[in-house]
Structure 1
Amino acid sequence: MKEMTVEELFTIKNPIIIDIRSPIEYKDGSIPGAINVPLFTDEERQVIGTIYKQEGAAVAKWKAMEMVSPKIPVLLQTIKKYFSNDTELIIHCWRGGMRSKAVVTFLEFAGIYSWRLVGGYKAYRHYILEQLPTMLPNQAIVLHGLTGVGKTEVLKMLKEKGYPILDLEEMAGHRGSIFGTIGLGDGHNQKTFDSLLFKGLQEIKGADYFLVEAESKRIGKAVQSEELMDKKMRGININLNTPINQRVKHLVAEYVQPYQDEPWYFEKIADGIEKVLRRVKNSDIKQSLIQTLTDRNFPDMIRILLESYYDPRYDHAKQEYEGEFFEIFAENPVEATEKIASKLNELSFHNRELNNQQ
């Protein structure tokens, strides 16, 4: 049986990773790009676990064999669809135990030679948590700006131009606000965030710096590490300024237009407004928000939220950052991207000059 360590896994170009854990295990956290071909359903896994606790390992193994045996042909056919001679096929379960050993053995009998990931997902999780603090580039360049200036769009455009980007909102599956999961599902948990951060850092390996959005330590369900927050707090800061009309237009296009006809949308917005109302003391603002919600006047609602809720809170958050601030004024994300790219090139040249003088 061929075996591969987690360290070796990251030396292979475009591996085909088959995660044979149950769907609930896979949903809780997985290796990015892994394909879930479960050996057991969630219910079957629960039954086997109960038998293991109540009747012992031998009885549980026998029950597992009874469950798996009828599935073997379909299981192998499913995995075979992803196999090709110019790729490496890697099989893993929770900790590289009986499930992955059995599937690798079944595949060998069928003439398909695959690798078993030693330690399984547990070893992968341990490895990335150990590596993450050591992978951050030396310098953070932090993009600031009031809600709606288009920071995420600017980061994506800069990434297309080849700049080293960490899109933390995408990794968290959350936009970092009360309305942050609209259109994005429930958001990612910590395990998924860590895996995507590890993948993102691999992609910018060798860069002297990285660009990242100014976010609070918690983004939805995920929490940034102390090492990452420390890099950001001591980084170079770029503050993006955009007219409020453009900000409202941008947020309507992002949060309203794609989803407003969905049956869940109004309830989701109402729930968010209720949370805001608990934090707003001004009765006139409260009444205005309630009225715009009743009228479904989302553009006016967004303007009120910006001027009376989000903007006042933003200045306080900026004060936490120690580094120098550079101001960028732009009408839209395209113009902002060009101006920030120009500033980045200027800063990069300046940093090289400093390094040469040392």
Structure 2
Amino acid sequence: MDQTFAQLERREDVLWIDVRSEGEYEESHIPGAVSIPLFDNEERAEIGTLYKQVGPERARERGLEIASQKLPELVRRIRGQAGDRIPAIYCWRGGMRSQSVATVLGLMAIPAVRLTGGYRAYRAHVTGQLASMRADKLPPLLVIHGMTGVGKSLLLQLLKRRGEPVLDLEDFAGHRGSVFGGIGLKTANQREFDGRLYEALRRLQDAPYLIIEAESKRIGHVNMPDFLYEAKLRGDNLLLFASLKTRVERTLLQYQLKDEAAFVGAVERAVARIERRFSPEFRARVNDALLARDWHSLIVALLTDYYDPRYEHAMKSYERPFHEVNGEDLEKAADEIVTHAHSAYAVTDAGQREWIGGRIN
């Protein structure tokens, strides 16, 4: 049975099965989808070459030759992954790959659905929905500000674990925002970011408020949608602060890699991208710390003389006042933010539990 993404996206009883190649899946996929490819990267390339150079009939024959050997194992994997859920099969545009798999599942009496139009239709749905969203239709935004290293991302993760309605844009982007932001992370492309953001907004649409970090318009390799950036500028501003000692410790904790050589290389490349903005004296200071592998001194220099002045300038674009929150103890900071949110938006404990229950169910 073929269904559109709009028909399937709210169903909790389906599991997305991506039968495209590993490379296609890695590039972008529906959030939560499991990769069970009908053809691997090399096989897909071979069939594509045959299609262009010989013709569609020979390409289909070769596809059948390859797929016929894989189908029993593929069916077992789908059955094992789906469990009690219904497999929702998709390929790039709802063509032969998903049709073949869905047909075999039907022959094996395994209930399944197929996504009409495949991943391409899903992508069109997401971009269309995001394009239609408006800042004034979102729940109120609580925007967490703070100098680099203060612990904004750690705080968001803590609030999310508590069940608070968090939009973690850096998590969606696979990037922490600065030139150093991709260290140790798998950076997302715009398609991945849009899919993750849309899924979160859909899931949190009835929340009493949303908590986000005060990100720039561009986060790593992706751009925040205009409606969300506009809503952020209108939001309720919370300014997290902590000592320089705490900020240095948290920065090193988040960025340092176990592989020292890889970490050094990543830091050197990042510094090279911004050092043209340094004064000669500051460049010498940074390079001395880098050569000595003195991470504490390097972080202090970059925070106090490079990132802090830029962050102070960026904060001037927000017109609403800032409510200060001590971030030395993030558990206490989370308590204060939740109390502030419930007070500002008249949320009772019972109402919060009702919202969380509705989201999960």
1:200 equivalenced with 2:204 (yes/no) = no
Number of equivalenced pairs: 344
Cα deviations by residue, 1:116-147 (Å, 9 ceiling, x for unpaired) = 11111111111122223438623222111000
Mapped to 2, the partners of 1:137 and 1:285 lie a distance apart of 43
Q: CA deviation at 1:154?
A: 1.4
Question: Equivalent residue for 1:191?
Answer: 191
Mapped to 2, the partners of 1:169 and 1:327 lie a distance apart of 22
Question: Equivalent residue for 2:277?
Answer: 279
* 1:93 alignment partner, one of 86, 91, 94: 91
TM-score when normalising by structure 1? 0.90
1:331 equivalenced with 2:332 (yes/no) = no
Cα deviations by residue, 1:74-119 (Å, 9 ceiling, x for unpaired) = 22222232243x3111111111111111111112223323111111
Question: Equivalent residue for 1:353?
Answer: none
Where do 5+ consecutive residues of structure 2 fail to align? Answer: 348-361
Question: Equivalent residue for 2:31?
Answer: 32
Structure-to-structure mapping, 1:131-170, within 5 angstroms? 131-132=129-130, 133-134=132-133, 137-170=138-171
Cα deviations by residue, 1:290-319 (Å, 9 ceiling, x for unpaired) = 111111110111001001110011111112
Q: CA deviation at 1:14?
A: 4.4
Mapped to 2, the partners of 1:61 and 1:108 lie a distance apart of 21
* Percent of aligned positions that are identical: 39
Q: Counterpart of 1:100 in structure 2: which amino acid?
A: S
Q: CA deviation at 1:159?
A: 2.3
Mapped to 2, the partners of 1:76 and 1:262 lie a distance apart of 43
Where do 5+ consecutive residues of structure 1 fail to align? Answer: 351-358
Cα deviations by residue, 1:178-209 (Å, 9 ceiling, x for unpaired) = 11122213x11111111111121133120242
Question: Equivalent residue for 2:70?
Answer: 71
Structure-to-structure mapping, 1:201-280, within 5 angstroms? 201-256=201-256, 259-280=257-278
Mapped to 2, the partners of 1:152 and 1:14 lie a distance apart of 32
CA RMSD of aligned residues (A): 1.9
Q: CA deviation at 1:9?
A: 1.2
Mapped to 1, the partners of 2:261 and 2:281 lie a distance apart of 29
Contact 1:137 1:207 in 2 (8 A): no
SS at match of 1:328: strand
SS at match of 2:345: helix
Q: Counterpart of 2:331 in structure 1: which amino acid?
A: V
Contact 1:18 1:89 in 2 (8 A): yes
Contact 1:246 1:332 in 2 (8 A): no
Cα deviations by residue, 1:188-247 (Å, 9 ceiling, x for unpaired) = 111111111112113312024211101111111111111111111122211112111111
Contact 1:18 1:91 in 2 (8 A): yes
Question: Equivalent residue for 2:352?
Answer: none
Question: Equivalent residue for 1:103?
Answer: 101
Cα 1:290–1:207 change in 2 (3 A) is: same
Question: Equivalent residue for 1:42?
Answer: 41
Cα 1:117–1:330 change in 2 (3 A) is: closer
TM-score when normalising by structure 2? 0.90
Mapped to 2, the partners of 1:69 and 1:88 lie a distance apart of 23
Contact 2:150 2:327 in 1 (8 A): no
Contact 1:143 1:240 in 2 (8 A): yes
Contact 2:151 2:327 in 1 (8 A): no
